Amino acid sequence: MPKRRSSFSSFLLALFSGALLPLALAPFSWWPTAVFSICALCFLCRGRGMWGVFSLSLAFGFGLYGVGASWIYVSIHDYGHASIALASLLTGLFALAMAIIFALPLSLFGLFRNAPPQAVLFAFPALWVLGEWFRGWFLTGFPWLNVGYGLIDTWLVGWAPLFGALALSGIAAFGGTLLSLIGERKQHKSMVSTGLMILALLCAGGVYLEIKPWTYPTGKRLDVALVQADLPLLEKWNDEELKRILQNFKQENESLLDQDLIIWPESALPTLQSNISGFLGDIDSNLKQHHVGLLTGIPSNTDTNHYYNSVISLGRASGTYQKRRLVPFGEYVPLERWLRGTIGFFDLPMSAFSAGAAQQRPIRLGTVQIATAICYEIAYADLLARDARDANILLTISNDTWFGKSIGPHQHLQIARMRAVENAKPLLRVTNDGITAIISPRGKVLEELPRFQSGVLKTKVTPYKGASPFSQYGSRPIVGLCFAILIVLRLFRRFR
C-alpha cells in the first residue's frame, strides 16, 4: 500500500489528472490518457477512508468537468449575454456540482481501505462504472465525458454491442487500476500476471466481437439528403428572418425531390408548427406527389401551456417525435419562478419546453422505422436502445451552434458514433452548422460535412434488421455485474 502523501500535493495531482482525462475523448482521442488518469486517482485513493477518497475524487471531477465541459461557457457568455466573470462563475459552479456527483459513488472505495490488491483490482473499476451509470440518471442525468467513448477506435469496441460504452469504461478503469497496483512497492506477481492475462483476453475478445454481425441489411437502399442550413443562431429567431428561412426551406426541398428522404436539423423552422400550418400543408402535398418523405425539427404545442421540441414528418414519411430528455436551463429552467428573467441565459429561445411522452411510436418511411433522438438525448444509451430494437435506421438531429468552435460538438459526434456501435444500426446525424455525418453500424464516419458551412450531404442508406444484445438488455448486465463484484468482495472480506 502506498505511503500517505500530503493533502495539498495529492489534491493538485488529482485535479491535474482529471483535467487530462478529456484528452482521451474527441477531438483529441488520445485514449491512453484515460488509463493514466484513472491510474493516478486509484493510486492516490489507496489506503484512505471514505472522506479522503471523496475529497480526492472531488478534485479529480472538478478538473474533468472544468476542462471537458468547458463548452458550457460558450452558451452562457456568447448566447446568454452573461459577462465573462458571471459566465466563468456559472461554468465553475456547474463543474463543481458535477464533481460532487462524480465523487459520491467513488467515495465507497474507502470501504476497501485495507483490502488486498486482488480486491482493489476489481473494486475500483466496478465503482468507476457504477459512477458513470449514476451520473447518467441522477437529477435527470448528465451522461457526458464517459471514458468508454475514447475507446471507440480501439480493438475493445467489439464489446459495445454486448454491454455498451460502460463496459469499455470498465476495461479502461481495470487497466488504470492494474497500472496503479504495479506501481506499488510490494508487487504481487501472480496478481499482475492475472490482470495482464485478463486484459489480453479482453482485447482478443474485442477483436473477435468487432467482426461479428449482430444485425443484417434488409430492404432496398434509400436515397437520403441531410441538410446543414448553417443559420446564425440568434438571428434566425427574429421575426424578420422567418420569411427568408421559409423561402429557403421551400426552395431547398424542391431541389431534392429525387431523394427518398430529406432531413433537416433541430429547430430548422424557428416558429411553432401551428403558426405555419398552411405553409407546411403545401409542402406536404408537393412531397406526396413526388413520393418523397421529409423530417424536420420544429417547436410544436398541444395547448398554450405545453410546448415541445419536435421532429415532424411530411410527404411520404409519417409520425412525430417529441423530445423526452430536456437540457436543464437550456430547454427548461429549474426553479423557474425565481430564476426566469434574472439573466439573459435563463431566457434563451426554446427554454420553456415540456418533455414528450416516455413511449412514442417510431417515425416511418413506408415500412422503414426510424428511432429518433434530439440533440442531447443521444447521450442516453438506454433510452435509444429501447427504441432501436425494432428500428431500421437511427437518427439524431441537433443544433450544436450553441457551443461555437469548442470541443463540445466533437464530443457529441463521438457519442453518436457509440450509439451506432451499441445498437449495430446505421445512424444519420443532421446538425445546423456541423458536424453532419453518416455513421455505419460499426461506428465509422462514412461521410461528413465541414463545420460552419451550409450544404447538403446526399447518400444511400441501407436499413438494418435485428437487435444487438445491448439493444435488448441495455446497461442492466454490466451494472448488475459491478454490483455483484462489490457485494462478493465485501462478503468475502467479512467471512475472512
Identify the CATH number of the domain in which residue 419 sits: 3.60.110.10
pLDDT of amino acid 347 = 52
pLDDT of amino acid 340 = 47
pLDDT of amino acid 145 = 96
The type of residue at 395 is: L
As a whole number, mean pLDDT of residues 472-479 equals 97
Selected residue with higher pLDDT from 181 and 302? 181
Nearest alpha carbon to residue 40 among 19, 67, 62: 19
Same domain, 327 and 444: yes
pLDDT digits (tens, 9 = 90+) for 226-251: 999 888 876 777 777 899 999 999 99
Residue 184 has pLDDT above 80, yes or no: no
Q: Round to whole Å and give the CA distance between 87 and 329.
A: 14
pLDDT digits (tens, 9 = 90+) for 319-337: 999 999 988 777 766 555 5
Buried b (16+ CB within 10 A) or exposed e, 175-202: bbbbbbbeeeeeebeebbeebeebeeeb
Residue 41 lies in domain: 7-213+475-495
pLDDT of amino acid 291 = 96
Same domain, 235 and 131: no
Cell numbers given for 203: 482485447
47: in domain: yes
Q: How far is CA 113 from the centre of its chain?
A: 33
Residue 346 has pLDDT above 80, yes or no: no
Do residues 66 and 95 touch, judged by C-beta distance below 8 A? yes
Same domain, 203 and 220: no
CA separation (Å) from 335 to 1, 91, 341? 47, 18, 12
The Cα angle at residue 170 between residues 165 and 172, in degrees rounded to 5: 95
2: in domain: no
Same domain, 143 and 265: no
Which residues, including other chains, have CB under 8 Å from residue 472's CB and lie 6 or more apart?
A: 385, 389
Active-site option among 375, 377, 425, 482: 375
Buried b (16+ CB within 10 A) or exposed e, 456-493: bbebebbbbebbbebbebbbebbbebbeebbeebbeee
pLDDT of amino acid 233 = 73
pLDDT digits (tens, 9 = 90+) for 255-301: 999 999 999 999 899 999 999 999 999 999 999 999 999 999 999 98
pLDDT of amino acid 4 = 53
Same domain, 97 and 204: yes
Same domain, 247 and 335: yes
88: in domain: yes
Q: Round to whole Å and give the CA distance between 419 and 149.
A: 10
**φ and ψ of 199, to 5 deg:** -65, -40
pLDDT of amino acid 240 = 79
Nearest alpha carbon to residue 129 among 165, 82, 104: 165
For the chain, the average pLDDT equals: 91
The Cα angle at residue 102 between residues 350 and 473, in degrees rounded to 5: 75
Q: Are strands 363-365 and 216-217 parallel, antiparallel or unpaired?
A: unpaired
Same domain, 190 and 267: no
Cell numbers given for 317: 414519411
pLDDT of amino acid 424 = 97
Same domain, 75 and 92: yes
pLDDT digits (tens, 9 = 90+) for 37-90: 999 999 999 999 999 999 999 999 999 999 999 999 998 888 777 899 999 999
Residue 203 has pLDDT above 90, yes or no: yes
Same domain, 161 and 132: yes
- Residue ranges of alpha helices (H) inside 255-359 are 277-289, 336-339
26 in helix, strand or coil?
coil
Active-site option among 39, 236, 323, 422: 323
Share of the chain above pLDDT 90, in %: 76
Q: Round to whole Å and give the CA distance between 159 and 110.
A: 30
Same domain, 201 and 283: no
Same domain, 455 and 491: no
pLDDT of amino acid 2 = 52
In this prediction the pTM is 0.93
Cell numbers given for 27: 477531438
Active-site option among 132, 210, 266, 422: 266
Most confident segment among 140-154, 188-202, 347-361? 140-154
Nearest alpha carbon to residue 28 among 154, 150, 143: 150
Active site residue 42: no
Active site residue 266: yes
302: in domain: yes
1: in domain: no
pLDDT of amino acid 282 = 96
Domain count, the chain: 2
Same domain, 203 and 290: no
pLDDT digits (tens, 9 = 90+) for 403-416: 889 999 999 999 99
